[in-house]
C-alpha cells in the first residue's frame, strides 16, 4: 500500500474497491505543482482574478432588471447580461474554465436574441 507523505507536493485519494471477500483500498498519488498555482503578487494576471467579482455583480443586476415590467429596464438588463458574458469570458480564459467560456458564448447569443425581441416590442 502506497501513501504519499508529502502533502505539500502530493495529494492522495482513497478509492474503495469492493470484492467478494473484503474491501480493498487503492491509493492514488496525484502530483500538484504548488509553484504555478498562484500568480505573482502585483502581476497583471493577479488582477484578472478580480474580474469575477464585477462579473458576478453585473450578472445579479442584470437578472434584477430583466424581471422588470418596463421594456427600458429589460433592455438595460440584456445589455448588462451581455457585459457580464464578456467579463466571464475574460475571467474564464484566465482561469482555464473552458466550459464556462462555452456557456457564456451560448448565453451571449441568447441575450442577443432577447435584446432583439425586446427592441421590437419597445
Question: Per residue in 3-37, pLDDT tens?
Answer: 444 444 444 444 444 555 554 554 545 444 444 45
Q: Taking the CA atoms of the chain, what radius of gyration do you get in angstroms?
A: 23
Distance between CA atoms of residues 42 and 58, nearest Å: 25
54 and 109 inside one domain: yes
**Given pLDDT bands bounded at 50, 70 and 90, which one contains residue 111?**
very high
108 and 49 inside one domain: yes
- Supply the DSSP symbol for 116: H
Count of H helices and E strands in the chain?
Answer: 4, 2
Q: How many domains are contained in the chain?
A: 2
**Given pLDDT bands bounded at 50, 70 and 90, which one contains residue 121?**
low
Amino acid at each position: 500500500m502506497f501513501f504519499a507523505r508529502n502533502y505539500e507536493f502530493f495529494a492522495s485519494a482513497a478509492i474503495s474497491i469492493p470484492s467478494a471477500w473484503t474491501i480493498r483500498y487503492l491509493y492514488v498519488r496525484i502530483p500538484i505543482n504548488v509553484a504555478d498555482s498562484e500568480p505573482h503578487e502585483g502581476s497583471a494576471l493577479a488582477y484578472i482574478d478580480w474580474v469575477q467579482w464585477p462579473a458576478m455583480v453585473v450578472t445579479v443586476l442584470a437578472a434584477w432588471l430583466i424581471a422588470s415590467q418596463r421594456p427600458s429596464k429589460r433592455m438595460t438588463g440584456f445589455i448588462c447580461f451581455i457585459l457580464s458574458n464578456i467579463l466571464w469570458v475574460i475571467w474564464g480564459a484566465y482561469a482555464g474554465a473552458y466550459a464556462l467560456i462555452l456557456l457564456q458564448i451560448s448565453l451571449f447569443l441568447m441575450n442577443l436574441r432577447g435584446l432583439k425581441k425586446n427592441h421590437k416590442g419597445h
